[in-house]
Structure 1
């Protein structure tokens, strides 16, 4: 009796995540009179978010698929990478950033767990020993958290109403993002035990 084939995330899952994200961004940018979307750089997000969501899949296709055409695409990892963008936009659509004081902090932590778990599942398997994999994923998460905060500052904080509290908020967000990435490193290492690849 042969073992069942491992579950693979279907391709429509990351496609659905992109469609839901871009749809909400389009509403935020082009439907007038919705106050919760004001001064939050949704025009920039409408361009940047799809590009960032598709960056890792595009790199995977260029680097991996060219060398190993038979390699199945890691749609589950792609979905995890994209999920944080959907959560961020949905939080704005449902006005959770303004109605729930803890939403922004939770978002930075959880979204970095999603993002770095997805990235870690794609690039983490060859890294040995396990502690080096955890540190690599956590370090990459810290770098991305700093980059994200620089992007937020440039697009809407420096000329916005949050400039007085930006320093403390930025330090908190970077810390939460790094802790989320550390958890992602632990999750990826646990998931990859005894397995060379995860899809």
Structure 2
């Protein structure tokens, strides 16, 4: 009996994630009178989030143009990289940040696991399992620090959360790094037994 065909993520999944994210951002930015969106820099997010969501696909596409054996687009990895932005915006749309005490903490852990899982899928094939853990966790830690700097610059430094920002920032960076570490362990386990692809 022939082995079952390997399932791959279709292109429309990351496309749908992008459309749903931008749609909610547009509502948050242009529809007046919705208190849950006030003071959270949604105008800046409307510009930044689509760019950040498309950076990885754009880099992959530019590299694929120069590489003959790039293969089909890794739509699943792209979707994982984009999902945290949709989760973040949806959490604001449903007012989960202000009504569910643990939502922000879960968000940082799970979103970094998704983000770094997607990034890890793109790089893990060229690394040994031990280096997958180091690389993916390191990428996650750096991105967690960068994210917190972005939050501070855009809405914390002049907002109402300044008094609790230090402790919250440290906690968010730890949770983001733990999420990245979780993704790294799963990717390393998946990587075991598979030969590393040569860097080309």
Q: What TM bracket, shorter-length normalisation?
A: over 0.9
Taking structure 1 as the reference length, what is the TM-score of the superposition?
0.95
State whether residues 77 and 121 of structure 1, in contact with CA within 8 Å, keep that contact through their aligned partners in structure 2.
yes
Alignment match, 1:169: 168
| Contact 2:64–2:70 (CA under 8 A) maintained in structure 1 | no
SS in 2 for 1:72: coil
Contact 2:21 2:86 in 1 (8 A): yes
Gaps of 5+ in 1: none
| C-alpha spacing 1:65/1:190, structure 2 compared with 1 (3 Å) | farther
Q: 1:96–1:2: structure 2 CA closer, same or farther, 3 Å change rule? A: same
- 2: CA distance between counterparts of 1:25 and 1:56? 20
**Greater shift after overlay, 186-195 or 40-49?**
186-195
Question: 2-side partners of 1:196 and 1:78: how far apart?
Answer: 23
1:153 matched residue in structure 2? 152
Residue 124 of structure 1: how far off its partner (Å):
1.4
Match of 1:93 in 2: 93
Aligned twin of 2:106:
106
Q: Would you say the 8 A contact 1:11–1:75 is kept in 2?
A: yes
SS of structure 2 residue aligned to 1:125: helix
The one-character-per-residue Cα deviations of 1:59-101 (angstroms, maximum 9, x if unpaired) are: 0011134313661100001000000000000000000000001
Q: CA deviation at 1:191?
A: 2.3
Offset at residue 2 of structure 1 (A) = 3.3
**Is 2:141 the partner of 1:142?**
yes
Kindly indicate whether the alpha-carbon contact (under 8 Å) linking 1:87 and 1:111 is maintained by their aligned counterparts in 2. yes
CA displacement at 1:127 relative to structure 2: 1.0
State the Cα distance separating 1:187 from its structure 2 match: 1.1
Deviations 1:152-186 (A, max 9, x none): 00000000000000000000000000000000101
Q: Tell me the equivalent position of 2:180.
A: 181
Question: Does the CA-based 8 Å contact 1:65-1:71 persist in structure 2?
Answer: no
CA contact (8 A) 2:11 2:75 kept: yes
| Partner of residue 26, structure 1 | 26
* Alignment partners' CA distance in 1, 2:5 and 2:61: 23
Unmatched 5+ stretches in structure 2: none
Contact 1:124/1:133 (<8 A) preserved: yes
